[in-house]
Amino acid sequence: MDGQAAASVSSPAGLDRSDGPLRISQRASNSCSFCTKRKIKCNKKIPCDNCIRRGHPEACTRVPAIVRGRLVNAPNATQRAPLTPDEIRLLREGQLQRENLGLRRRLNEVENRLRELEGRDTQTNPVDPASVGTISSPGESPTTANAFAHLLNAASTVRSGAETERSRQDEPDVLEPFVHVMAMPLSKQDRPSSPHLRVRQAITHSPGSISSLPDLPSRKTIDMAQADLLTLIPTPSQSMIIIRASLKYMSFLHYSCHIPLFIAEHDEWIQAVSEGREGGKGDAWLSYYFSLLSVGMYFCGDLMAPELNLSVDETSSLSSFWFDVCLEALNRSKFMSTNPTLEALQTIVVLPMVSYNFGASAYTESLLHIGLRLAQLLKLHLLTAEPADHDHLPRGLVQREVGRRVWLLLRLGEGRPDFVNTGGLRLPQGQTVEPFNANPEDYTDTSVKPRPFSQFTVVTHILCAGRRYRIFRQFSEAFGEAASLGDQYAIARAADNELQNNFSDFPCLQNSDNDAFDERFDLNGPHDHSPHSRYIWSLLMPAGTILVYRSFLGRAYSDDRFTEVRETCLAAAREILRQRRRRVPPMFQRTWPIASYTVLAGVVLATELVHGSPSPEMHDKLVSEIQALIDSLWLCGTSSLVVQRGAPLLQRFIDSREAQPPAAEPSTAESKAGLPSAGDAPMVPAVQDLWPGLPPTGTQDVTADTWMNASEDVWSNALVALENDEASGWWTTLL
């Protein structure tokens, strides 16, 4: 036996013996030598995926061995097959990974050098402690002044130099799926310090001024996937304030958890982390936690700023920073591959509250679609009705109610209120029923006392929105399948009536004119959400009317059959303007319908200004109304992409109309035929000038049966372009 083995070993002259003598075994290993040495899983192909990804498919060989006196797995180049397209893709991915890794190393070296230079400048010109806070030593407890110093430092370090309106989808990082496994870990000097005992470290440089908001995590100068997420949380007292404010003031728009249970869970976790103990929470739970921090700081930051000893700019920067950290934690949880959890879905339904302000609406729209499929994996679509005896229900009612609310919020995000997007997801028939109209104190884990719709609860707002979503969904499908213009008009009128009937089923959401808003920040006092909900619905209802009739508004200026549509849409737009002139607390002007439906009303009025041939008195009135809407838009904040794009759009309508002569009245014959007259040439700026990405529209005649033809009217083109622009994505939302 030994002689045969020796003869077999000595026969192949090209056999590599650098790894030691050949192994004598009863069977040969099918794994390659690279995977065998590192004890990692091999797909047992030559070349294997691991060797292809590391860029050396030619070096992938199996471990030679002597089995029953015969040499097996000897290297033989003639047996190697050419790379398949999938293997070539893996090879290129590996090359990009190594290139990206080298770039990150070089970037870290440059950053370290810059920090050294900044440190010297700081020693030469000390920064005023009042502006940045003092650095706490390990033996001191963090104070209000320095509680956010490490977070502001991290936010200023990772901020992007791009303009705030720049899309997060521009120039995406092609290696984002590999960032978490390929990026180099941060050294102790590079990690942001923390106020907690377990993770506190010294800050080596002062935070810079916060001049812009941070960009997507994949393009940050610090890879947060390698950092301890616990270094990016505030102190226990500050965390309790922000989380409670987020849930107290904004939960009626995203009631995605059982508030008393979550607050108790949060307080126990934050106390454990502050004492250096393990909190026992995974990345998915942390992502939900950071999403609540971002929402709370964005909507309530200006009210909490004095108590937190922060400026308004710093609260805005922290909100954006925690939004990015939330995305990192969500990606680290592997929610799309191996670990779909309810916490990940809770995060997904909260993110649209602020995503439009940070240029990530298109990203969160994708998350909402993905979340629906993950919810099906968790069987959230099978939460059927509870037994009739509400006093003796099976245990687990709290969890089932959370599941129903998350499912409803996901459906709201999946269904847009406009009918332009008719190619949405078609889900299998679900059996999940509506959540109960109940506050947290109205139900336990085994019983519930639902309230009538005449009484407002934290769930009433999304219940009405859920029914509104179903009406728009049915309208979208029926409108797209209608065979004639008359059928489409009948469907639009029926949908408008259904919207009004649905709203009449919720008396507690009506009659908002006499509401008084609470403008004081008091976490310990009572707070009534109903005035703010009624204010939002006072905009949603006229906006819904405009949305169902928008396909006929362009025709109304050349076809007398649709004069009623013109009058109805103008009345709805003026109702939105009337509501926008009311005094509303600033944080509730930041919710998405306020700005988006303000733009919608302005476009309707601008259509009347351009195509309606108004008298001089009516012309001046329309201009003043549009200007009032523009002024109210700027009250929503200059960082909102809806404001940045909508306000200039309305101003262009006014400027174009002032520069053009009045249009001629359409002839009677042309009106009856439903065709535009020669004087109806577009007098607004070309759509391609406003939105370069929109393809040019033709000038050919449009038949009456054509649905939503792009050349039908200019305002529809502008709205479709604004809506489909990936940098804004402002129609995607929870309502």
**Does residue 424 sit within a domain?**
no
Residue 365 has pLDDT above 90, yes or no: no
As a whole number of angstroms, the distance between CA 346 and CA 406 comes to 7
Task: Identify residue 374 by its one-letter amino acid code.
Answer: L
**Does residue 388 sit within a domain?**
no
Please state the rounded mean pLDDT for residues 557-581: 90
Q: pLDDT tier at 81 (50, 70, 90 boundaries)? A: low
Among 85-94, 105-114, 681-690, which range has the highest average pLDDT?
105-114
**Does residue 513 sit within a domain?**
no
Question: Which one is predicted more confidently, 50 or 92?
Answer: 50
As a whole number of angstroms, the distance between CA 586 and CA 706 comes to 43
From 22-31, 232-241, 505-514, the region with the lowest mean pLDDT: 22-31
Of 378, 405, 434, which closes a domain? 378
User: pTM (2 decimals)?
Assistant: 0.61
Q: Using DSSP, state whether 566 is helix, strand or coil.
A: helix
Please state the rounded mean pLDDT for residues 324-332: 90
Instruction: Tell me the percentage of the chain whose pLDDT exceeds 90.
Output: 14
Q: In this predicted structure, what is the pLDDT of residue 609? A: 87
pLDDT in tens, 580-609: 888 777 667 676 667 888 888 998 998 888
Domain, as residue range, for 622: 589-735
pLDDT in tens, 476-498: 888 888 888 889 999 999 999 99
Q: In this predicted structure, what is the pLDDT of residue 130? A: 37
Q: In this predicted structure, what is the pLDDT of residue 621? A: 92
**Count: domains in the chain:** 3
Q: Is the dihedral of CA 229, 233, 235, 240 positive or negative?
A: negative
Q: In this predicted structure, what is the pLDDT of residue 80? A: 62
Residue 266 has pLDDT above 50, yes or no: yes
Q: pLDDT tier at 412 (50, 70, 90 boundaries)? A: confident
Q: What is the DSSP string of 412-469?
A: HHHS-SSSS-----------PPPPPS--GGGB-SS-B-PPPTTS--TTHHHHHHHHHH
Do 82 and 183 share a domain, yes or no? Answer: no
**Does residue 727 sit within a domain?**
yes
Q: pLDDT tier at 179 (50, 70, 90 boundaries)? A: very low
**Does residue 604 sit within a domain?**
yes
Q: In this predicted structure, what is the pLDDT of residue 76? A: 59
Please state the rounded mean pLDDT for residues 404-416: 79
From 94-108, 277-291, 491-505, the region with the lowest mean pLDDT: 94-108
From 224-228, 338-342, 691-695, the region with the lowest mean pLDDT: 691-695
Do 75 and 156 share a domain, yes or no? Answer: no
88 is written with which tokens? 């070539």
Please state the rounded mean pLDDT for residues 151-169: 49
Do 155 and 28 share a domain, yes or no? Answer: no
Are 694 and 718 in contact, with CB atoms under 8 Å apart? no
The mean pLDDT of the chain is 71
Do 36 and 161 share a domain, yes or no? Answer: no
Q: Using DSSP, state whether 351 is helix, strand or coil.
A: coil
**Does residue 532 sit within a domain?**
no
- Give the helix ranges, DSSP H, for 554-661: 563-580, 586-589, 592-611, 616-634, 641-659
R_g over Cα of the chain? 31
Do 219 and 347 share a domain, yes or no? Answer: yes
- Give the helix ranges, DSSP H, for 378-450: 397-414
Place of tokens 């005023």: 128
As a whole number of angstroms, the distance between CA 82 and CA 88 comes to 10
Residue 175 has pLDDT above 70, yes or no: no
Residue 174 has pLDDT above 80, yes or no: no
As a whole number of angstroms, the distance between CA 674 and CA 663 comes to 17
Do 160 and 63 share a domain, yes or no? Answer: no
Do 595 and 705 share a domain, yes or no? Answer: yes
Q: In this predicted structure, what is the pLDDT of residue 267? A: 93
Are 296 and 523 in contact, with CB atoms under 8 Å apart? no
As a whole number of angstroms, the distance between CA 611 and CA 569 comes to 14
Q: pLDDT tier at 575 (50, 70, 90 boundaries)? A: very high
Are 488 and 459 in contact, with CB atoms under 8 Å apart? no
**Terminal-to-terminal C-alpha distance of the chain:** 78
Among 210-214, 253-257, 518-522, which range has the highest average pLDDT?
253-257
**Does residue 241 sit within a domain?**
yes
**Does residue 663 sit within a domain?**
yes
As a whole number of angstroms, the distance between CA 48 and CA 80 comes to 11
Of 378, 398, 418, which closes a domain? 378
Question: CA distances (Å), 239 to each of 145, 148, 283, 647, in order?
Answer: 15, 11, 17, 36
Residue 52 has pLDDT above 90, yes or no: no
pLDDT in tens, 671-719: 333 333 333 333 334 433 433 333 344 433 333 223 233 333 334 334 4
In this structure, the dihedral spanned by the alpha carbons of residues 251, 254, 257 and 261, taken in order and rounded to 10 degrees, is: -10
Q: In this predicted structure, what is the pLDDT of residue 269? A: 93
As a whole number of angstroms, the distance between CA 473 and CA 66 comes to 68
Of 360, 378, 396, which closes a domain? 378
Do 198 and 320 share a domain, yes or no? Answer: yes
Are 573 and 621 in contact, with CB atoms under 8 Å apart? no
Do 51 and 159 share a domain, yes or no? Answer: no
User: Which residues in 486-495 are b (16+ Cβ under 10 Å) and which e?
Assistant: eebbebbeeb
The alpha carbon of residue 118 and the mean position of all alpha carbons in its chain are separated, in whole angstroms, by 35
Are 152 and 313 in contact, with CB atoms under 8 Å apart? no
Do 13 and 156 share a domain, yes or no? Answer: no
Question: CA distances (Å), 282 to each of 287, 391, 544, in order?
Answer: 9, 34, 41
Identify which of 488, 502, 588, 611 has the alpha carbon closest to the alpha carbon of residue 249.
Answer: 588
Q: In this predicted structure, what is the pLDDT of residue 31? A: 85
Identify which of 484, 472, 436, 390 has the alpha carbon closest to the alpha carbon of residue 735.
Answer: 472
Do 234 and 364 share a domain, yes or no? Answer: yes
Among 352-356, 504-508, 696-700, which range has the highest average pLDDT?
504-508
As a whole number of angstroms, the distance between CA 280 and CA 184 comes to 26
580 is written with which tokens? 């926008």
Do 173 and 80 share a domain, yes or no? Answer: no
Q: In this predicted structure, what is the pLDDT of residue 20? A: 55
Axis-axis angle for helices 592-611, 530-553 (nearest 10): 30
Q: pLDDT tier at 612 (50, 70, 90 boundaries)? A: confident
Q: In this predicted structure, what is the pLDDT of residue 287? A: 93
Please state the rounded mean pLDDT for residues 319-327: 90
Q: pLDDT tier at 59 (50, 70, 90 boundaries)? A: confident
Task: Identify residue 199 by its one-letter amino acid code.
Answer: V
Neighbours of 337 (CB within 10 A): 7
